[in-house]
Amino acid sequence: MPHGRKKPNVLSAHSVTPYTVTILIHADTARYHLERPVSWRLEGTELRGVSDIVPVFLEGLLPDTVYTFWAGEEKLFFRTAPCAGLIDAADYGVSPDAADNACAFAAAVAAVPKGGTLRLPEGHIASGPVFLKSDMTVWLPEGARLAAIADRGGWPILPDHDADGRVVGTWEGLPAASFASLVTAIGCKNLAITGRGTLDGGGDRGDWWTWPKETREGARRPRTLFLAHCTDILLSGITVCNSPSWTVHPYRCDRLTATAMQITNPADSPNTDGFDPESCTQVKVCGLHISVGDDCIAVKAGKRGTGEDTRVDHIAPTRHLTIANCLMEDGHGAVVMGSEMSGDITDVDITRCEFKGTDRGLRIKTRRGRGGQVARIAMNDVAMDGVGTALAINAFYYCDADGKSTEVQSRDPAPVDDSTPLIADITVTNVQLRGVRHAAGAFLGLPEAPLRGLRLTGVTVGYDADAEPGETLMACHLPSARHAGLLHRFAQIETDAALTDLLEDMTDVS
């Protein structure tokens, strides 16, 4: 090890609660999968196994207890968090036999002391929306499945603003009345949701997926897990699936950590993004496996209204987001910024991840009228396999009713004002692209606000021999492509010598 270089950590403990912990193995050097399987054990317990992935999630631990975790010959000491009291939800009537456990859950949540833990029983627990409170841990042990009921009759609706003026109901970047989520937390602090259990949003039951862009009873579709105006939040271990719309949606949250989670929705389920931090700060996402019907991780920052609805008071930035050791599969995009991003999205680090079979890898999408900036985005040590367009930056994204209008899609310069989006300082290093179908990269800035400071180094490219031509960006006037290199227009790009031959001017077609 050269002098002055920090030795990588082999083992680290994350997301520690009274009864669970996430251990990361070789997180500083591996992506999501380990180079080779590692045998592990928790000393003094029967917990042991073999892991071929970075995150190892453990549950059934004792509070405020020191443990020794072994992985091969490496060991790690960690202490679980204290617990002020363990409450069994079953003692308050939460049961697999009940048709709707929402009222029983409310009683159980109310009974949890400050710093205490609510443990769910095993089995299929049907419920309407559950509302959480501050200073508690919710533990869904293995075998517990909290599942939304199919009938939305009487389902609670979150208004666009609460009595304090905070936005609590949202839809695609704008305040809007929305059905409450299966698990909803508003204004909470020091909240953890953990365990090997499952949150089942019920999107495959009822009619949620049949009206993706409409309202019913004056409200938009719910998420499965919605966290608004929360601070110091921990999510670990759980599986979240079958979401009616966006799956995990933190909104205006600060200091949120998510580790060792599984987020899954059917590939044809509409607008079921996986993890959507919107107007959040200091978010850490590590060791997630996401496969959904839309974008896997979609970073948002609100959006301006259009026409008579030009609200901007709800817009706030997303800053300081870290995504590491994650696996994204089969979604529209792996890590996406926009299109709801009228607030700034800045200081995002994407490190040691795997993208497999997504339509696009790193994707930034915006358009005239959005405003805001996307800046200081860094991607390092990422492997993409079977991706359509690996690196996509599009300032002509044809979203909303006017998205294909001349005003939005014209390649002539438009006036620059506070509604002009800016994209700058995007750094991509040490990225392996295998099985690319359409383009290694497609970068389309605005003529009045070109993409600046895009730096690509250490990128290797291989193509899918069986690929058919397809769409590189969702913008008008672009031809289909197959096995294209680095397509660009209205963009300032710096590359190393190995990528120079891949640079191609992007031309319009009628």
C-alpha torsion sign, points 83, 241, 331, 370: negative
Same-domain pairing of 345 and 218: no
**Residue whose entry in the numeric block shows the structure tokens 């020191």:** 66
HSE-CB for 376 with a 13 A CA cutoff = 10
Q: Is the same domain home to 223 and 338? A: no
Distance, CA of 354 to CA of 325 (rounded, Å): 8
Query: What is the rounded CA–CA span in Å between residue 273 and residue 293?
Result: 7
Query: Do residues 507 and 370 both lie within one domain?
Result: yes
Same-domain pairing of 285 and 335? no
Tokens linked to 331: 């979604």
| Predicted local confidence at residue 399, as pLDDT | 86
The answer to whether position 95 is within a domain reads no
Q: How many domains does the chain have?
A: 3
Residues 285 and 348 in one domain: no
Name the residue range of residue 42's domain: 11-79
Residue in the structure block whose two tokens are 């602090």? 189
Give backbone dihedrals phi and psi of 80, rounded to 5 degrees, phi first.
-70, 160
Weakly modelled stretches of the chain, pLDDT under 70: 1-7, 307-309, 510
**Judgement on whether residues 340 and 471 belong to the same structural domain of the protein:** yes
Catalytic amino acids? 294, 332
Looking at the DSSP assignment, which residues form a beta bridge with residue 439? 389, 484
Span 272-309, pLDDT tens digits: 999 999 999 999 999 999 999 999 999 999 998 776 66
Q: Domain boundary residue among 23, 55, 79?
A: 79
User: Would you state the pLDDT for residue 339?
Assistant: 82
Residues 338 and 483 in one domain: yes
Predicted pLDDT of residue 305: 79
Q: Around Cβ 82, how many Cβ atoms within 10 Å?
A: 10
**Same structural domain for residues 459 and 354?**
yes
Helix or strand holding residue 102 (H, E)? helix 102-111
User: Which amino acid, one-letter code, is at 348?
Assistant: V
pLDDT per residue over 55-84, tens digit each? 999 999 999 999 999 999 999 999 999 999
**In a shared domain, residues 370 and 261:** no
* pLDDT at position 244: 97
Residue 322 lies in a domain: no
* Residue 106 domain flag: no
Q: Residue 193: its pLDDT value, please?
A: 98
Q: Is residue 100 part of a domain?
A: no
CB neighbourhood size of 463 (10 A): 17
| Residue at 368 is within a domain | yes
Domain contains 227: yes
- Residue 110 in domain: no
| pLDDT at residue 400, as a whole number | 85
Angle at 291 between CA 353 and CA 303, to 5 degrees: 85
